[in-house]
Structure 1
Amino acid sequence: MPAMIPFLKMNGLGNDFMVVDARGGRVRPAPEVIARLADRRTGVGFDQFITLEATRSGADAFMRIDNADGGEVAACGNASRCVGRLLMDETGLASATIETRAGVLNARRAPGGLIAVDMGVPRFDWQDIPLSEPFADTRAIELQVGPIDSPILHSPSVASMGNPHAIFWVEDVSAYDLERFGPLLEHHPLFPERANISLAAVPAPDAITLRTWERGVGLTRACGTAACAALVSAARTGRTGRSATVTLPGGDLSIEWADDDHVWMTGPVETEYAGHFDPETGAFERDAPAVRTAG
């Protein structure tokens, strides 16, 4: 039987992760084991399984991201903030670099114990998102839910923040059954790599309210890349300026689309507890006592 491997349970605004440090040796459970661990009734329960691996890029670590269904993805904003905090705590420095499949991200400490991450430059060309057919203007594409003459949702903005996003603009994000529409839209033929589906309302030029159905996860309390995609799409369509507070079910993120086109995301990070698990079976145990820290 293999040795039990240590892990941390962390979250950013309730978007939660099981984080494993594999820089000393590769630890990658099979997708079915990750899905078993992600089960909120019988497992650790999380949105993403995060593995820190050694890197040759000069970054502090490579962050591998597997969704709750065991499928690997390229980007996760809230996980980047959690990993950034871990790396900065480890080195004692005020900044860290994280290699991901979407590129190298820079993290830094922000006032109030918050963590900020440079999420890179958004992409808007249809083939970069990607979409399965060309659209000249991705600020509003032809996609709708419901009858043609009276759609329930329609004309989303689409963008990539290292993963594909579709943002439907609504007056009230709680007025729609996203749990029903989300899976259908995630798997729509227009999205060859599936997509994260969000409902966004803009109550003020510097405020966005957001709910997200995250591909491979489901309804989530917070999706950092969706918050970034919503802000840049709101700015592109004249709904907001280039910075806003994005309010998600789990809390607030500050998003800024800087003049150099990089998107900065700032918010809180929490370590919930430590534990150990078996990477072959998914058996796990919490370390006692549980420790909760913020900042």
Structure 2
Amino acid sequence: MTRPFLKMNGLGNDFVVVETKSAPFAPTPEEIRAIAVRDGGIGCDQVIAIDPPSADGAQAFVRFWNADGEEVSACGNGTRCAGWILMQQAGSDEVVIDTKAGRLIAARAGERLVSVDMGEPGLGWEQIPLASEQDTEALGVVLFEHAVLMAPPGCVSMGNPHVVFFVPDIDAAPIRAAGPMVERHPLFPEHVNVGFAEILDRDRIRLRVWERGAGLTRACGTGACAALVAAARRGLTDREATVVLDGGELFIDWRDDGHVIMTGPAAVDFAGELP
């Protein structure tokens, strides 16, 4: 039996999206890796399943897998894509989505633009989680020995763990060397997404992300949220900023009520069938 899918992307962060109304979808890590591999598979950063809702008030329960086969709780760009599909199907301008990280709300924000209320960031060390108690605004641990990374990074949970380094020049940051080492540092028992942020102005951040289980990615929605929160906590930016990623721009607003709102595009690339 084949199963239809949509190939979608949010700023180049790309997904294979499967709806499960007709049949359950319980892939093994090996099957996820086979779908995600770009040489011989369909190729994607994450696989997404849109399941029927599991609780009242939601339109769907959405699951995410990284390209390495690990199921994860949250994906910001993927949530925008899932939200776009659900709004198209319902003919509505807002949908409620449940995930393992909690309940999220997606809303139309313009032509092919979707805003997602990502909820409140987790700022406690046990929420990230970290292996030991730390000040998450500015870690007291050297995670990678390199001159431009010696300033203490910040940590934020957006339903998944993030560490954010603030660098003077994003092009000089040792992302490919530091990313995989920091991702699996013992301080992070669930591993971590590693952001490298250059502050361009009070309302503008340049960001590149080494994504947990996927590597260097063109965009990371939860990473953009984490970068803005980490920067605002340090007084480096205001609570609203445009985050410039390799794939394009996201607008992030850390509202006074504590919720983080992420706005950006969702695009459909093509449709196909999984064997």
Is TM > 0.5 for Structure 1 vs Structure 2? yes
Larger Rg: 1
In structure 2, what is the Cα distance between the partners aligned to 1:6 and 1:264? 31
Q: Contact between 1:66 and 1:72, CA under 8 Å: does it hold in 2?
A: yes
Q: Structure 2 stretches of 5 or more lacking a match? A: none
- Contact 2:112-2:267 within 8 A present in 1 as well: no
Note the C-alpha offset of 1:152.
4.2
TM-score, structure 2 length as denominator?
0.97
Cα distance between partner residues in 1 of 2:216 and 2:263: 21
* In 2, Cα distance between equivalents of 1:180 and 1:173: 14
Residues 188-227 of structure 1: matches in 2 within 5 Å? 188-227=185-224
SS state at 1:182 partner: helix
| Alignment partners' CA distance in 2, 1:79 and 1:158 | 22
**For the residues of structure 2 that align with 1:68 and 1:141, how far apart are their CA atoms?**
29
Quick check: 1:49 aligned with 2:47? Answer: yes
The answer to whether structure 1 residue 83 and structure 2 residue 46 are counterparts is no
Structure-to-structure mapping, 1:17-56, within 5 angstroms:
17-56=15-54
The Cα of 1:112 is off from its aligned counterpart by: 3.9
Residue 158 of structure 2 corresponds to residue 161 of structure 1 = yes
Q: Provide closer, same or farther for how the CA distance between residues 151 and 235 of structure 1 changes in structure 2, counting only shifts above 3 A.
A: closer
Alpha carbons of structure 1 residues 72 and 111: separation in structure 2 relative to 1, 3 Å: same
- Percent of aligned pairs with the same amino acid: 49
8 A contact 2:224–2:243 mirrored in 1 = yes
Quote the residue 1:270 is aligned against: 267
Out of 179, 184, 200, the position equivalent to 1:187 is: 184
1:4 aligns with 2:2: yes
Letter in 1 for 2:243: V
SS at match of 1:41: coil
Match of 1:156, as an amino acid? P
Aligned residues: 273
- Contact 1:142 1:154 (8 Å CA) reproduced: no
Partner of residue 138, structure 2: 140
| Aligned ranges 1:68-107 → 2 under 5 Å | 68-107=67-106
Unmatched segments (≥5 aa) in structure 1: 279-295
Q: Deviations over 1:155-196 (max 9, x none)?
A: 110010000100000011121231121111000000000000
Contact kept, 8 Å, 2:149 with 2:166, in 1: the verdict is no
Provide the C-alpha distance between the structure 2 equivalents of 1:37 and 1:228, rounded to a whole number of angstroms: 28
User: SS at 2:232's partner residue?
Assistant: helix
What is the deviation of 1:96? 0.6
